[in-house]
Chain A
Amino acid sequence: MSEEFKVEIVNPEKSFLVKDDVSEVVVPAFEGEMGILKDHISIISFLKPGIIKILSKSGDENYYVEDGIVEFKNNNLSILTSTIFNLADMDKSKQQDLLKQAEEEANKTDINDQSKYLADQKVEVLKTLN
């Protein structure tokens, strides 16, 4: 067989995406972007706001996530996230809305360092989209 593996993205409401012809996935892990290829070692990590890139035979896809956990095991990649959008379906106004929310959050003074960092990340990522 070729160098393909299976990826599954689930959010609390439903199974968001299942693909089994994926050649590479790039996830925004907490300590930096991480590319996952077939036969990667079993890993658990969590995500910061960013873009998930899924490269497959049937075309590349990009998703914006705000948080989540990734688990890779036996060539099965599971991504659990509560907020995810397909970039292809996301229009400018939606982006602006999210950016505005993120900026408001980042400008709050009564939050701790970690949530501040996450909010800043959100703003940064959303800005680069525009």
Chain B
Amino acid sequence: MASLDDLKKRIASVKSTQKITKAMKMVAAAKLRRAQESAEKGRPYSEKMNNVILNLSNGISDKENAPKLLSGTGEEKTHLCVVMTSDRGLCGGFNSNIIKKAKSYFAKILDEGKELKIITVGSKGNDQLKRVYGDKIIENISFKESKNANYFDADKVGKMVIEKFEAGEFDVCTIFYNQFKNVITQIPQAQQIIPLNNEGEENSSEESYEFEPDEDEILSNLLPKNISTQIFKAMLENSASEQGSRMSAMDNATRNAGEMVDKLTIEYNRSRQAAITKELIEIISGAESL
């Protein structure tokens, strides 16, 4: 059994850990509110963008010559995966969930004999993937300096993806991120952004639009923007998810630490009493023997 002194030290250390996790939880809660707000504010833009593109692609007359970003290269040989994770740890299963989802997708791709290229956004994803898929990672981006997700960063990633697409480095692009549902639930998502996947979204109106200039030109201008927008949306969802996930993880940690302190305190009191009883017995039996 541990000595009284040891127990005392352990109680103190667990208590200070609890203080840290509690503080982290509070910080995450405050950040979560902001992140959630900006995720909600960012939704109209990406929704409207999607709508316009949907209308445009329905209106396009010549499907054969549609921009490659919309219709794809006609092949599915090389897959590019953009895995978006956080730069900081201690956020529960947030990163592992994305990685798990991504890894199962990678395995599928490789099983089919296709080529795989990976771009990681956020250092935690890179850390976890480089052990197994190190040779497949072509780019690693991290926005440690930026406090909040901003469009400028997303645009940088988007431009890079488009550049690589135009250079013919891949045929299909998928992004992985966590969709924020609520504080305890975040759903890892795999979203294909090149070629654009519009199936199952047949709710567009029959109304015809006037286009100026023509559809093709607008589309070729719009599609690169859409890539950045989708990536930005993923970043916003991700940052809200990260804070939510961290908040619930830290909440659990705080509670566990509390339980541990209680248990240790009981143990401490028991052994203190045992020591007193032992001393008393010694004194009494000493007195009796006289």
**Chain A residues engaging chain B, CB cutoff 8 angstroms:** 8, 10-15, 29-31, 34, 41-46, 67, 69, 71, 73, 78, 80, 82
Residues A15 and B41 in contact, CB atoms below 8 Å apart: yes
Query: Chain B 49-62 against A: per-residue CB contact (8 Å), 1 yes, 0 no?
Result: 10110011000000
Number of residues of chain B lying within 8 A (CB) of chain A? 29
Within the assembled complex, what's the spacing in Å between the Cα atoms of A13 and B154? Answer: 12
Q: What is the predominant secondary structure among interface residues of chain A facing chain B?
A: strand
B48 CB-CB contact with A under 8 Å: yes
Closest chain A residue to B208, Cβ basis? A42
Cβ 8 A contact of B151, one of A13, A45, A78: A13
Known A12-B151, A44-B56, A46-B222; judge A31-B41 contact (CB<8 A). no
Residues B209 and A42 in contact, CB atoms below 8 Å apart: yes
Residues A78 and B208 in contact, CB atoms below 8 Å apart: no
Q: Which residues of B contact A14 (CB under 8 A)?
A: 38, 41-42
B133 CB-CB contact with A under 8 Å: no
B213 CB-CB contact with A under 8 Å: yes
Q: Which residues of A contact B48 (CB under 8 A)?
A: 10, 71, 78, 80
A-B residue pairs in contact (CB < 8 Å), sample of 10: A8-B44, A11-B151, A42-B207, A44-B211, A44-B218, A46-B218, A67-B225, A69-B49, A69-B218, A82-B225
Q: Which residues of B contact A80 (CB under 8 A)?
A: 45, 48-49, 52
Residues A44 and B41 in contact, CB atoms below 8 Å apart: no
Residues B212 and A45 in contact, CB atoms below 8 Å apart: yes
- 8 Å CB interface, B242-278 against A: none
Query: Chain B 207-251 against A: per-residue CB contact (8 Å), 1 yes, 0 no?
Result: 111111100001001100100010010000000000000000000
Known contacts A42-B210, A43-B212; can you find 14 more A-B pairs with CB under 8 A?
A: A11-B45, A11-B151, A34-B212, A42-B209, A43-B211, A44-B52, A44-B209, A44-B212, A46-B221, A46-B222, A69-B52, A71-B51, A80-B52, A82-B155
Query: Chain B 6-38 against A: per-residue CB contact (8 Å), 1 yes, 0 no?
Result: 000000000000000000000000000000001
Q: Which residues of B contact A34 (CB under 8 A)?
A: 212
Q: Which residues of A contact B151 (CB under 8 A)?
A: 11-13, 82
Within the assembled complex, what's the spacing in Å between the Cα atoms of A10 and B51? Answer: 14
Within the assembled complex, what's the spacing in Å between the Cα atoms of A71 and B229? Answer: 17
Within the assembled complex, what's the spacing in Å between the Cα atoms of A44 and B151? Answer: 23
